[in-house]
Amino acid sequence: MASLKKTVHLENVLTNHSQDMTTKVVAITGTTSGTGFVLATEVAKKGGTVLLLNRPSERSVNALAQLQKLVPQGKFEAIECDLQSFDSVIKAAATIKEKYNQLDVLVNNAGVMALKDTATADGYDVQMQTNVLSHFLLTKELFSILKNSPQARIVNHTSMARLGNPLELKYFLPNGGNLGGNGTEEENLSFQGPRWQRYHQTKLANFAFTYGLKKRLEEKNITNVLSLLAHPGLAATNLQITSDADGGMDVNADFMQMAQSPEDGATGIIRATMDKEAKSGDFYGPSGEGWNGFPESLVPEEDLLHESNLQINWEGCEKAVGTFEI
pLDDT tens digit sequence for 23-54: 999 999 999 999 999 999 999 999 999 999 99
Residue 73's Cβ-count burial label (10 Å; 0-12, 13-18, 19+) is exposed
In a domain, 163, yes or no: yes
Q: What is the CATH number of the domain that holds 205?
A: 3.40.50.720
Predicted confidence band at 4 (pLDDT cuts at 50, 70, 90)? low
In this structure, which amino acid lies at residue 289?
A: E
Is 76 a domain residue? yes
Per-residue b/e over 246-285, b at no fewer than 16 CB within 10 Å? bbbbbbeeebbeebbbbbbbbbbbbbbbbbeebebbbbbb
What is the per-residue pLDDT for 252? 52
Geometric angle at alpha carbon 109, from 65 and 151, rounded to 5°: 100
Count the domains in the chain: 1
pLDDT value of position 240? 43
Look at residue 68 and tell me if it is in a domain: yes
In one-letter notation, the amino acid at residue 267 is: T
Mean pLDDT of 191-210: 97
Q: Please report whether residue 52 resides in a domain.
A: yes
- Secondary structure of 140-156 as H, E, C letters: HHHHHHHCCCCCEEEEE
**Cβ–Cβ < 8 Å for 324, 318:** yes
Q: What is the DSSP string of 210-222?
A: HHHHHHHHHHTT-
- Terminal-to-terminal C-alpha distance of the chain: 42
Q: Using a pLDDT cut of 90, give the percent of the chain over it.
A: 88
Q: Give, for 231, the enclosing helix (H) or strand (E).
A: none
DSSP 123-135: SSBHHHIIIIIHH
Q: In whole angstroms, how far apart are CA 127 and each of 5, 89, 194? A: 27, 16, 12
Q: How many residues does the chain have?
A: 326
The model carries a pTM of 0.94
> What's residue 3's pLDDT?
46
pLDDT on residue 235: 79
- Other CB atoms within 10 Å distance of the CB of residue 318: 15
Half-sphere exposure of 62 (CA within 13 A, CB side): 5
- Whether residue 29 lies inside any domain: the answer is yes
Active site residue 211: no
What is the average per-residue pLDDT within 99-118?
98
Tell whether 325 is covered by a domain: no
What is the span of the domain harbouring residue 263? 2-320
Q: Which of 24, 46, 203, 214 is catalytic?
A: 203
Q: How far apart are CA 179 and CA 181, in angstroms?
A: 6
Catalytic residue among 124, 199, 211, 284: 199
The percentage of the chain sitting over the pLDDT mark of 70, rounded to a whole number, equals 92
From 222, 261, 239, select the one nearest 11 (Cα to Cα).
261
Per-residue pLDDT at 254: 52
SS3 302: coil
Q: Please determine, for residue 175, whether its predicted confidence score (pLDDT) is greater than 70.
A: yes
283-286, strands of its sheet edge to edge = 75-80, 49-54, 25-29, 105-108, 152-157, 225-230, 283-286, 295-297
Residue 315: pLDDT above 80?
yes
Query: 326 in a domain, yes or no?
Result: no
- How confident is the model at residue 290, as a pLDDT? 82
Cα distances (angstroms) measured from residue 83 to each of 69, 87, 250: 27, 9, 25
Residue 208 lies in a domain: yes
- Checking if the pLDDT of 135 tops 80, the result is yes
Round the average pLDDT of the chain to a whole number and report it. 93
Residue 203 appears among annotated catalytic residues: yes
Q: What is the pLDDT of residues 207-259, one digit of tens each?
A: 999 999 999 999 999 999 999 999 999 877 655 445 445 555 444 555 455 67
Give pLDDT, residue 288: 80
pLDDT of residue 249: 41
Q: For residues 173 and 312, what is the distance between their CA atoms, to the nearest angstrom? A: 11
DSSP code string of 159-216: -GGG-SSPP-GGGGSS-TT-SS----HHHHHTT-SHHHHHHHHHHHHHHHHHHHHHHH
Q: Would you say residue 132 has pLDDT above 70?
A: yes
Give the model's pLDDT for residue 79.
Answer: 98
Give the tens place of pLDDT for each residue, 158-172: 999 999 999 999 999
Q: H helices within the chain, ranges in order?
A: 10-16, 34-45, 58-70, 86-99, 126-128, 134-146, 185-189, 194-219, 238-245, 262-265, 267-274, 307-321
- Distance between CA 53 and CA 61 in Å, rounded? 12
